[in-house]
Amino acid sequence: MNTLRRTFVAAALATGMLAAPLASFAQDIKPRLIRFGYGLVENSNQGRAARFFAEQVEKASGGKMRVRTVGAAALGPDTQMQQALIGGAQEMMVGSTATLVGITKEMALWDTPFLFNNSREADAILDGPIGQKVMDRLQEKGLVGLVYWENGFRNLTNSKRPVQKMEDFDGIKLRVMQNNVYLESFKTLGANAVPMPFSELFGALETKTVDGQENPFNTILSSKFFEVQKFLSVTNHVYSPWIVLVSKKWWDELSRDEQKVLLDAARASRDFERKDTREEAGRALAELKAKGMQVNELPASEAARMRAKLASVNAGIAASVGQALWDETQAALAALRR
Ligand code: TK8
């Protein structure tokens, strides 16, 4: 409280003003505190973008809205934070769309193997009407989606052997994100797929509870998986985004101006995050090699074989997200590719 306000409060008390108006005045001057949770460490593309978002919000609101970023799943893994947002115990988070599938089944669309060929296609679909439609389905579940951030194309690491062909998955215990598309996809390839929250992953790799995992180069680097994983196979098997979420319960209490501050800052953070992530991905692979990871590219024939095999999960995804949404997405992608 600044001196002027303190004087006012003191004067109000001295002149015996009623407690009620005093309380509402105090509420007006207290900045809104926004707890913004995320899963990766602070020194990661996710952490940098969270900080950028916080700065934008503080600047645009003139300090009336404050964002406290909390990384490394210190507020809990994705699924726990989602529940905290729904209940109104936490205001914001960023996390994988993959962990939202249990809440909003349409999110499984983004887990479709090889859905996007490149980031241009991902941006166009995610930022377009289809991305918005999927995001809007969250509202009836108590969540407001603001923007998608890039997590990136995912690649495979493990401690057993280079994966050069499908048969190399045999006997590999692979941690997957917690949803059925991932489970089915990697079972289909022959791996022993184990769903597990990201926050438990490093420990599980270290103790060999699991042999491998899959994530973009950026995360393999920032989460130091190179310390516990020898082999990196470049598969680019799926582009699964992150999504910035707000508690709907809390969002509905905000003024239009406050909502606009958050949405504008989220859009700015999206542009910042994608640029930063793409720049980092370019150097992360070289860094992982320098840290001693043995990297292999899949021969084109094997990549095609895996792709064909994984297409068998598509029917299941179409059925769970709805055939109409599936067809609309395929048509939009075909138009982008013309
Ligand atoms: C971070 C996760 C992570 C994701 C995963 O909380 O779980 O593998 O790729 O980025 O959301």
CATH of the domain at 165: 3.40.190.170
Hey, which bits of the chain come out as E strands?
A: 32-37, 65-70, 92-96, 143-149, 155-158, 173-176, 192-195, 212-215, 231-234, 242-247, 294-297
Atom of ligand 1 nearest to the CA of 154: 9
**Residue 45: which of 213, 292, 279 has the closest Cα?**
279
Residues β-bridged to residue 67: 34
Report which protein residue has its CA nearest ligand 1's atom 11: 96
State pLDDT tens for residues 230-266: 999 999 999 999 999 999 999 999 999 999 999 999 9
What is the distance in A from the centroid of ligand 1 to the CA of 148? 14
State the chain's mean pLDDT as an integer.
93
- pLDDT of the residue at 30: 86
Residue recorded with tokens 């490149």? 118
Which of 178, 181, 219 is the pocket-test mutation for ligand 1 (most atoms within 8 Å of CB)? 219
Q: 3-state class of 217 per DSSP?
A: helix
- Closest-CA residue, ligand 1 atom 5, reads 198
Amino acid occupying residue 131:
G
Atom of ligand 1 nearest to the CA of 38: 6
**DSSP per residue, 210-263:** SSEEEE-HHHHHHTTGGGT--EEEE----B--EEEEEEHHHHTTS-HHHHHHHH
d(CA 289, CA 279): 17
Asked, for residue 23, whether it belongs to a domain, the answer is no
Kindly give the distance from the C-alpha atom of residue 28 to the centroid of ligand 1, in angstroms, as a whole number. 37
Per the domain annotation, does 260 fall within a domain?
yes
Ligand 1: nearest atom to the Cα of 240: 9
Mean pLDDT, range 38-48, rounded to an integer: 98
Let me know: does 56 contact 89? Beta carbons within 8 Å: no
SS3 at position 180:
helix
Band the pLDDT of 64: cuts 50, 70, 90.
very high
Cα(257)–Cα(259) distance, integer angstroms: 5
pLDDT (0 to 100) of residue 1 = 41
Q: How far is the CA of 29 from the centre of ligand 1 (A)?
A: 37
**pLDDT tens track for 174-194:** 999 999 999 999 999 999 999
Nearest alpha carbon, ligand 1 atom 1:
39
Residue 167 tokens, joined? 């048969």
For residue 177, the CA-to-ligand 1 centroid distance in Å is 7
In a domain, 258, yes or no: yes
Residue 175 identity (one-letter amino acid): R
- In the three-class reduction of DSSP (H, G, I as helix; E, B as strand; rest coil), residue 237 is classed as coil
Residue 210 lies in a domain: yes
Question: What's phi and psi for 326, nearest 5 deg?
Answer: -60, -50
Nearest CA to ligand 1 atom 4: 96
Mean pLDDT of 157-161: 98
- pLDDT of 165 strictly over 70: yes
pLDDT, position 3: 45
pLDDT digits (tens, 9 = 90+) for 261-283: 999 999 999 999 999 999 999 99
Position 321 confidence tier, pLDDT thresholds 50, 70, 90:
very high
How many A from CA of 9 to the centre of ligand 1?
47
- Give the nearest ligand 1 atom to 214 CA: 8
How does residue 23 score in pLDDT terms, banded at 50, 70 and 90? very low
* Pocket test residue of 151, 201, 205, 218 for ligand 1, highest count of atoms within 8 A of CB: 151
Inside any domain, residue 303: yes
Is 95's pLDDT higher than 80?
yes
Model pTM greater than 0.85?
yes
Residues lining ligand 1, Cβ inside 6 A: 39-40, 78, 95-96, 151, 177, 198, 215, 219
Whether 6 is covered by a domain: the verdict is no
For residue 212, give its domain range. 30-337
Mean pLDDT of the 77-100 span: 98
Task: Tell me the mean pLDDT in the region 37-65.
Answer: 98
Asked whether residue 1 is domain-assigned, the answer is no
pLDDT class of 28 with cuts at 50, 70, 90: low
Number of structural domains, the chain? 1
The answer to whether position 138 is within a domain reads yes
* DSSP letter (8 states) at residue 109: G
Atom of ligand 1 nearest to the CA of 77: 6
Average confidence (pLDDT) over 85-114: 98
pLDDT over 90 (residue 13)? no
